[in-house]
Each structure stands twice: as C-alpha cells, then as structure tokens.
Structure 1
Amino acid sequence: MLGKSFIVASVLAASTAFAGTPQLPAMPGVAGPFSPAPARVALGQQVFFDTRLSEPAGTSCASCHDPAQGFAGNHGSRIGVALGSRPDLVGRRNVPSALYAAYVPPLFFYQDDDALAPTPFGGLFTDGRVDTVAELVRHPLLDPLEMHNRSEADIARKLRAAPYADGFRQAFGPAVFRTTASTLAALGAAMDAFLQSRDMSPFSSRYDAWVQGKATLTPQELRGLKLFKDPDRGNCASCHEFNETSTNPARSLFTDFGYDALAVPRNRAIPANRDPRHFDEGLCATGRAKGWKEPGQWCGYFRTPSLRNVAARERYMHNGVFSDLRDAVAFYATRSIEPERWYRNGRPFDDVAPRHLGNVNVATMPYNRRKGMKPALDDADIDAIVAFLRTLTDAPFEASAAARGAGVYSATKEGAR
C-alpha cells in the first residue's frame, strides 16, 4: 500500500500545469522550486497590505491574515470568525494561515489500495473550492462579509488608481489594465508570487533547525513528538504528516492536505449559528458546486491545516471555537470519552446537521473510544504535545507565540460553546 506522503508528493510532482504548484521530490534544500520574479513579489506584498482595496476602505488581506499571528487572525474579532470591512458583519469561518499556502496542491481524489472509495486531498480554502491563487484572491475581495467589493470591475478600478499601478505596468506590460480580466489575472499572478516568496514559507522554526542537526529539543518536546506520531496514542501524524528523518524541512508540512469530519463543538457566537437549522457543510458545498455525484457524503469535512505556527494563532478549528491551543489538543483526546465536556446540552456533534452525523469520524484513534474509557492521552501527554507544537513556530512569530502562551492574546470563550 502506498503511503499518503508518497501520494501527495507524486501528485504534486505531476501537477506542473498549475501555477505555483511545487514539485516536492525535486526540492533542493528548503528554497524549493519557487523562483518568483522579485517585482511580482513586491507587487503582491503591496496588494496584500493595501487597505484601499476594500469597500469601504480600511481592510486589507493582512487585516485578517495578520503577520503578528503567523498570517492568521480575525481582524480584531473575539468570536472566532473575522470582522469584515463593515463592522456590523462578520465572516463565516476562522481565518487560516496564509503561510505555506504555496504548497497546497489542487483538489484531487486518490483511492488507496485498502480504501472503499477515492479520498479528496488539496484545494485552497478549508473547503477546497478553488485550485489556484488567481481564483482564490477574488473570493475575499468580492465577499460581502469580507472586503465587500461589488464587482471585479470595482477591484480593477482600484488597482488602476493604486500608487503601485506603474509597478503592474512594468511587471505585466503597458496593457495590463486594458480589461478587467487582464487586471484580475495580473492581480492573481502578483499574489501567487508573494505567496511563493521565501518570507511566506520561512522554514525557520526550532523543529526545522532540529531536523538539520542545528538545535536540540527538550525532553518534554521529544516526548510530545513521540506521542504526536504514536498511532495508538495521539495519532496526530496520521493527518498532520511530517518526516523528521529528512533534513529538508519542506518534507514536514504537518498536513497531508486531506479532509476529515471531526465534529468540533458549535461556535454559538457566530451570528449565523443563531439559526439552529444552519450548519457549515464544508467540503460537500464544494462538491455540489462542482457537480459531484454524491456530495452529501462529504458534509462536515474540512481540509487538514498545516500545524506550522499553530502556537501563534488566536483561534483554532474551522469555526474558531477554541481560543486555547491546549483545549484544541484536549478535544482530540477526549471528544469521544467526555462529550459533556465539549458539547452543550448533551448533544454530541452539535455542529453537524443531524442527517450527516454518519459522516463524523468515529473510527480512527483517538476518536474510536467510548464514553467513560481511559483517555488515550492524559494531562501530561497533552502538555507534551503542546510543547512540541510550539517548536513549529517560525522565528518571526516566536514573540507572538510566547505572548499567546503567556495569555497576552487570550480571547474570550464566552458564548462559544
């Protein structure tokens, strides 16, 4: 049977038709095959931080993908999902980190030798709805709950008037602004270049130094590493894949790019969740849009995020229900044996529509344990895994992660469960 790491690497190697898709097997060192034009990187960075591109002005990509939080964050919101450009409205999901996004492959299906059906991997956003950065960039710019531009023509008009417009002409030719389509294509290419830049995939954590023999881990961190990959204990590495035997840190992205239905607790602070009939369906909404034969089998599935810089983030899970990294790890360990700890009113899996409860993962460790059983991880084990996860913080974000660990950035949990 082929391992998932082989599957993902092989698919990435074969996906050269997609702009920005890396070829993992051919990566020299940590720089990878990415070599974006510096002028395009600079343009993408300017766009990323430009607050004039929202409606009304004042919100940029960086407002939600905050560099201080490992390019995640929620624009000052304390309820687990981001504020948009209009303060009376908030987004639908917790904002994922934009770091290492260049490594996410296009959405594809693979059937393992032991699997009954093909399994999805990849795709951008937590529901895999787009395959390229050029497609991705349109969504937040046009979403009324995010940057609220009314049309692509409005975005193009703002780019033509931007102080870096001449940079676009120099990088993409004098006719770059001739049509809305050409303008948006250049915007996507600039953002793609920025996400491919070394700054957005720094590989500068203590873990990275450790696999290269340049640093050591503490006994607690090493214990956490062992538990993280132990299939009978944490079993975290079954989805958050990594390879500590490779000196190339790019082999350790701490995700297999796959999907799972974890049934995290309902975040009751999200306005849309005031309607008890509302559920975020995740991957199956993508399946419907793409015309899959049986999209309902994927309701409640969300893409496994990379755990790099997880300690610098403000919120966890697709709905931002947790504001403490330790809570997130403890949920994995005790969801099945202590459901009353996590779910209100004694109803497990309360953020999954009743008709899709059969999709929830109850088969793999540690989700396959029954109520009242001994947990797969005790408190000391959970602390050790959290200690290991903190070694995944890149150097530019260590201060933020340390501050979060000390409670400086602690966000309220009131109303979340």
Structure 2
Amino acid sequence: MNHPSDALLPPHLPAGGEPGPVITRRAWLRLLVWSAAGIVLALVVVCAYALVYPERMPPAVGSIVEEITGANPNPVHLMRPQDAPLSAVALLGKQIFYDQTLSASGTQSCASCHSAQHSYAPDNAFPVQLGGAHMNQAGYRPPPSLTYLYRQAPFSIGPDQGDTDVPVDMTQLASQAAGVQRAQKTALAAPAAPAMVPQGGLFWDGRADTLQIQAIGPLMNPVEMANATQEDVARKLLQTKYLDQFKQIFGAGIVNNPSLLISEAMFAVGRYQTEDQSFHAFTSKYDYWLEGKARLTHAELHGLQLFNDKDKANCAGCHLSQPSKDGLPPVFTDTQYEALGVPRNPAIPANKDPKFFDMGVCGPFRDDMTKETQYCGMFLTPTLRNVAERKVFFHNGVYHDLKQVMDFYNLRNTAPEKIYPRDASGKVQKYNDLPAQYHANVDVADAPFDRKFGDQPAMTDQDIQDIIAFMKTLSDGYKAAGS
C-alpha cells in the first residue's frame, strides 16, 4: 500500500498533451524544504556581508538587514569632541564646581544639584531642590542636566541667526515674529515655514547665553547658594585654597578686582563644562549603533521608527535624532521652546499660591520678554540624552517616569480627563498650569498633539513601551565591542 505522502499529484500536461513525469507529494515537500533552506542561507550570507560591508548594501536590502539583525545598514563616523587633558583654566573650574564654601550655607556647590553620577542632574526625585542660607528654601523648577550644552547657541527668536557680533534686540525680534505663523514641526523633515519661535539660551527660560553667565546665577539666587552680593562671592573666592591658581592664570592683580575675579571664576567653570568629556560623552548604545558597532533589539528598533514617525510619536520633530551633515552626533533637541500645557505640580511650594504661574520665556524669572505674551508658557526643549536616568520630567517636575511622560503626549488631547484634575463642578481643568488667556500658545498642531478629543491616541501601549526601550539606548556608558 502506498504511503499517503506518495499520493500522486495532478500530472503536468505539456504542450503536446502527453502527461509529464509524475511528482509525489513527498518530492514536493523535499523541494519546498530545500527551497526554504536556500532562502535562509541566502539571507544569512546577505546579513553577514552587510555586517562586514554595510555601506555597500542597497537601501531596500539595508532595511531588511536592519529588521533582521538590528544593525545600522548605513553607519556613519561621528565627530565627537576631542578628548584631551583639561587646561589649567578648566582644572580651576572643576575645583570651583565642587566647592561648597562658595554658598551661604557652606554646604552647597554646583555639584549638589548637578551630580556627575546622575548625568549632571539632581541625585534625587524632588520636584525642586532646597537651598538658601539655611538649606530650607525651596526652588521653583527642577535643575536641568548640564550635559550636552556645549553646542547651545545664544537665545534668539526666529530662524537661525548664525554667528553675529551685533547685539540682538529681543523685543524687536519678538514683535517682528508676532505676525508670522508658527512652523509645524515634523520628524525628519524640514519645516514648511520659518520657525519663528524662541531658541537657544540656557536655563528652562533661556535667560543666560553662556555657560559663564549660567554659572553665576545659582551663586546669587536666594533659594540656591544665596550669596547676598557679588562682594560676598568675591570674598569667599579670596579665601579658597586654590587662590594661587587664580593668580598664576589671571595675574596677581585679580585679587584687587572683585568683579573680574568672579567673572574669571565663572569662565573657568564654563571651560570645565566644555572641556571635560563627561559633559558630552556620546557613549550611548545609539551612538555606537549609528557607527555600526552595536545592534538594536526589535523593541528598540521599533521604538526608533516610532520616534521618527511624523504621524505617530513625532519625537524627532523637537528631539533631533540624526547626525549633522558633517558628522556631529545628534544632541536630541532643536533647542527651541514649546508650550506643552503640562499639568500643574502641587508638590512645588510656590504653586500653593493659586495666583502664581511659571510662564517660562515671559516670566517670572526673566523680565525682558514679559510683554511678548505669545511666548507665555514656553520652555526650552531639553536633550533626551540620558533621559532614562532622570527622576523628574518637564520644567515643573510633575512626572517621575517615562511612561507618565509618554501617556501625557498620547492622551493630553484625546483623553484629557486622564491627565488633568477636575474642578469642584467636575469639569476637567485642561492646561491648569497656565492662565486661560495664554492657552492659545499651547501646541495643538504637531503630532501627537494634533488629535482631537475622543480620537484614537497616536500610540498603543506597546508602542510606548518600545519608544521607552529606544530612549534607554540614549544613556551614556554603553560598552560596545571595540569601543
């Protein structure tokens, strides 16, 4: 009796009408198995070749290789900052950065709120830090990370101003920009219109243009290092153990010029932040993937695709993910300002006053833009490098993990009742951390904020998990083969 697998298949009838050779089902199965094996072998060969010579892969093949292996089919050479010994000025700046004696309390330094072990951000999950002469004064915003600021341009409004030695009148620029429609921000695509928005600068509101100016801010802030006058700072600098280094670098006469002493001290801090590689290491898994030295998992790769998808997460619309044309690694920010409408954080002591509002660019901590109300509620877009290491998020520290952050982006417009509190009447208090007259400043044009109430959210829960998996690849300290 014939085996069932030997049952005859319909005979092939050639053109002459005579039956062709009879093919058994077993023969067909052998053919299919060998064909599949051949395809798998071919894919293995292609993938192996792609790993050795990725630059030779056609785009279509490169995409397949990327999906299968997690390797970057088009690796690049990243132009990292030069790694060199710190200059004498930077070494002086490092001592100043860690010197607690420069504070009124004698217990606080720059490093107190900018821990090297936590990507130069706070080492705790407090929404704001404590400071002041007795370390009992609460701040107003969580200190941002000091990493990846070395390429930050001075504050400006409108398209890239380029390098200029001419002082910029911000009020005039703001007035000129007031009638220009805001550009829609789309991942991996150039804006269709000039991006007439604030950009550049340091702090959440951009009020400092250089690392030197930024460094002096906390020294004089009454809720931070709390020195009453510049003379107080100068007097403390004159009592430091590194005063001789000041004299050697800047000349002995500097001790007789308090304002110059402070200026040079803060210049030294800025040089430390610029020269020390730990402030811009570019040693994340994503950096090595860009260079073809690491592979992304399926979840990380899918997260990257969603991150760059202009219709989904659209994260790259603000957090630029591509290297520059000359090979500079991406710093994951366009350094522009956005009004996102994040919910009010009741844990901040200042927010106990219902009349207090932190409105970013137009106040209360900078006073040169208070009349430019079209920018009220706008805050600097921070870098996403090392974002998975942070303990609080946004300018008011309202969220404490990336899932909460992604839910905000996904549900702010489609299901605001899941994001904002309700008032006594049960009405959802949308944009409750910004006065009602400025709600029109909040971004509702860019994905995923372009969804309406009741619409399907842009991302599924699995999408969000994959995006978070990708963002974890942006943490420095990854050990790649050959790195």
TM-score by length of 1: 0.83
Cα distance change, pair 291–207 in 1 and its aligned pair in 2 (3 A): closer
- 1:39-67 Cα deviation digits (max 9, x unpaired): 11111111111111111110111111112
Q: Is 1:146 aligned with 2:228?
A: no
Percent identity for Structure 1 against Structure 2: 39
Q: How does 1:2-151 map to 2 (within 5 A)?
A: 29-31=79-81, 38-73=87-122, 76=124, 78-85=125-132, 86-111=134-159, 114-115=192-193, 118-151=196-229
Cα deviation, residue 117, structure 1: 7.4
- The aligned counterpart of 1:408 is none
Q: What is aligned with 1:303?
A: 380
Q: Is 1:339 the equivalent of 2:416?
A: yes
In 2, Cα distance between equivalents of 1:117 and 1:213: 33
Alignment partner for residue 167 of structure 1, among 239, 245, 254?
Answer: 245
What code does the residue aligned with 1:170 have? Q
* Structure 2 residue 281 is the aligned partner of structure 1 residue 231: no
On the 8 A contact 1:69/1:314 being kept in 2, the answer is no
Match of 1:208 among 287, 292, 301: 287
CA deviation after TM superposition for structure 1 residue 302, in Å: 0.2
Query: In structure 2, what is the equivalent of residue 187 of structure 1?
Result: 265
The change in CA–CA distance for 1:371 and 1:217 in structure 2 (over 3 A counts) is same
Q: Output the CA distance in 2 between the equivalents of 1:316 and 1:347.
A: 20
Separation (CA, whole Å) in 2 of partners of 1:117 and 1:105: 16
Q: In structure 1, what is the Cα distance between the partners aligned to 2:468 and 2:478?
A: 19
Shift of 1:68: 2.1
Say whether the 8 Å CA contact 2:158–2:194 is kept in structure 1: no
Name the structure 2 match of 1:219: 298
Shift in Å, 1:115: 3.9
The answer to whether the Cα contact below 8 Å between 2:406 and 2:464 also exists between their aligned partners in 1 is yes
Q: Distance in 2 between matches of 1:116 and 1:189?
A: 34
Map 1:273-352 → 2, pairs under 5 A: 273-285=351-363, 289-290=367-368, 294-345=371-422, 346-352=428-434
Q: Is the 8 A contact 2:287 2:329 kept in 1?
A: no
| TM-aligned CA deviation for residue 114 of structure 1 | 4.6
How many angstroms apart in 1 are the aligned matches of 2:356 and 2:235?
A: 36
CA distance in 1, matches of 2:195, 2:358: 24
Go from structure 1 to structure 2 and tell me whether the alpha carbon gap of 1:69 and 1:235 turns closer, same or farther (over 3 Å shift): same
Relative distance call for 1:367 and 1:314 in structure 2 (3 A) is same
Q: Given the superposition, is the C-alpha separation of residues 184 and 36 from structure 1 closer, same or farther in structure 2, using an over 3 Å criterion?
A: farther
Letter in 1 for 2:113: C
After TM superposition, the structure 1 = structure 2 runs for residues 253-292 of structure 1, keeping only pairs within 5 Å, are 253-285=331-363, 289-290=367-368
Change (3 A) 1:137 1:245: closer
Contact 1:36/1:196 (8 A) holds in 2: no
Q: Name the SS of the counterpart of 2:157 in structure 1.
A: strand
How far residue 329 of structure 1 moved from its aligned partner, in angstroms, is 1.7
Deviates more, 1:300-309 or 1:369-378: 369-378
Call closer, same or farther: CA 1:73–1:287 in 2, change over 3 Å.
closer
Considering only CA atoms, is the larger Rg found in Structure 1 or Structure 2? 2
User: Quick one: which amino acid aligns to residue 45 of structure 1?
Assistant: K
Q: Does 1:158 align with 2:158?
A: no
Letter in structure 2 aligned against 1:335: R
What's the offset of the Cα at 1:289?
Answer: 2.5
What secondary structure sits across from 1:162 in the alignment? Answer: coil
- Whole-Å separation in 2 of the counterparts to 1:200 and 1:177: 30
Change over 3 Å in CA distance of 1:28–1:90 after alignment to 2: same
Aligned partner letter, 2:150: A
Q: Partners of 1:224 and 1:52 in 2: how far apart?
A: 45
Is it true that 1:393 corresponds to 2:475 in the alignment?
yes
- Comparing 104-113 with 251-260, which one deviates more in the overlay? 104-113
- Alpha-carbon distance between aligned partners in 2 of 1:89 and 1:200, rounded to the nearest angstrom: 28
| 1:376 match | 458
Contact conserved, 2:285 with 2:478, CA < 8 A, in 1? Answer: no
Does the C-alpha gap of structure 1 residues 258 and 83 become closer, same or farther in structure 2, counting only changes over 3 Å?
A: same
| Cα distance change of structure 1 residues 96 and 117 upon mapping to structure 2, 3 Å threshold | closer
In 2, Cα distance between the equivalents of 1:90 and 1:303? 22
Judge conservation of contact 1:128–1:286 (CA < 8 Å) in 2.
no
Deviating above 3 A after TM superposition, structure 1's stretches of 4 or more consecutive aligned residues are: 34-37, 111-117, 244-248
> Which residue matches 1:252?
330
Q: Which runs of 5+ in 1 are unaligned?
A: 1-26, 398-417
Offset from partner CA, 1:234-260 (integer Å, 9 cap, x none): 000000012158794x43100000010
Deviations 1:146-182, CA, capped at 9 Å, x for gaps: 1101111111111111111112222222222221111
- Give the C-alpha shift of residue 134 in structure 1: 2.1
Match of 1:413 in 2: none
Deviations 1:269-306 (A, max 9, x none): 101101111110101128973357x5111000001000
Please name the residue that 1:13 is paired with.
none
* TM-score, normalisation: structure 2: 0.72
Q: Secondary structure at the match of 2:130?
A: coil
Query: What is the aligned partner in structure 2 of residue 199 from structure 1?
Result: 278
In structure 2, give the amino acid aligned to 1:142: M
Aligned partners of 2:298, 2:106: CA distance in 1, in Å?
Answer: 49
Task: Tell me: CA distance 1:312–1:210, structure 2 relative to 1, closer, same or farther (3 Å).
Answer: same
1:206 aligned partner, one-letter code: K
Aligned-CA RMSD value = 2.3
Q: Check whether the contact 2:215–2:270 (CA below 8 A) recurs between aligned residues.
A: no
Q: 1:290 to 1:35 in 2, by over 3 A?
A: farther
Deviation string 1:186-225 (CA, Å, 9 cap, x unpaired) is 1121011111022211111111111111111111101100
Of 406, 418, 443, the residue aligned with 1:361 is 443
8 Å contact kept, 1:212–1:247: no
